[in-house]
Amino acid sequence: MNLENKAYNSAVIVGTMRLGVWGVKMNTNELERFIDECVEMGATDFDHADIYGFYTEEEEFGAVLKRRKDLRSKIKNTTKCGIKLICDNRSDHKIKSYDSSKKHILSSAEQSLKYLGVEALDILLLHRPDYLMDPHAVAEAFEELKSKGKVKQFGVSNFSPSQFDLLHSFTPLVTNQVEISVLHRNAFQDGTLDQCIKKGIQPSAWSPFGGGALFSSSEDENILAIKKVVNELAEKHECKFDQLLMAWLKKHPSDIVPVLGTTKASRIQDAINSKSIKLSQEEWYEIWQAAIGTEVA
């Protein structure tokens, strides 16, 4: 695929949501070691959001970057804004809501820069579609941040094709981060990935393994059917179960980049190594057929 504005440098994106209080609660030393391991294996794209850890994850990650200034030039930071959570760290928020106003975008970006301790954010995404979004205001905010050298590129997350089209017509976007997995296939059918190919942008996929449902015991017939086919193909290709699922995503011509929520460097290495697995057209459709429960029309 010929990408006009390639959003990501590495084959996978390291998600940071579960590194802090929303997950394994890594301390600064553990987080530094994890980042180093990721960089050494070529996983240099990291995905944040202002809300992660109830507004604490960016600052914890930034503590490593302030200690290890050499890492700043080695990694690429994407962060997100636009969701307002109710928590002790944001006592002025009365309800959970969305805010894509110019004021909120600018203040969120400044806060992320401060917490991460970097001079510029590589990519800033609007985290969720705001039903009251004024594309003029968003474009103004993005232009101001870019002109001041505070954000290099912009994108969105969880936007429908029409919502993406609307904002992209006012300001250039380089990615749409949406949920994509064998269990969540909307992007293949609702025009999201078609749009990415048409516009030459790179989609990123959160929850690429279906939120872990395929790795736990289940009596669900749909999940059992998928597991059976994936295990058979994994044995055929002499790879791990999760690597086969990764190869299935990467088969799509839109060049989907998965956001991995794992806190284990070995799982990230496995995902990177999956690039050598080449599924045939029919093998890809074997998994699709198992997922939908019937043959294609």
How many CB atoms lie under 10 A from the CB of residue 89? Answer: 12
Q: Indicate the SS3 state at residue 48.
A: coil
What DSSP element (H or E) covers 165? Answer: helix 161-168
CA neighbor of 259 nearest in space, from 183, 211, 204: 204
Task: Please compute, for residue 220, the number of CA atoms within 13 A of its CA located in the half-sphere on the CB side.
Answer: 14
How many CB atoms lie under 10 A from the CB of residue 226? Answer: 24
Q: What is the CA angle 13-63-173, rounded to 5?
A: 35
- Residues 6+ positions from 224 with CB-CB distance below 8 Å: 218
Q: Indicate the SS3 state at residue 265.
A: helix
Of these residues, 8, 52, 115, 131, which one is catalytic? 52
Q: Is 52 assigned a catalytic role? A: yes
Check: CB of residue 137 under 8 Å from CB of residue 100: yes
Residues labelled catalytic: 52
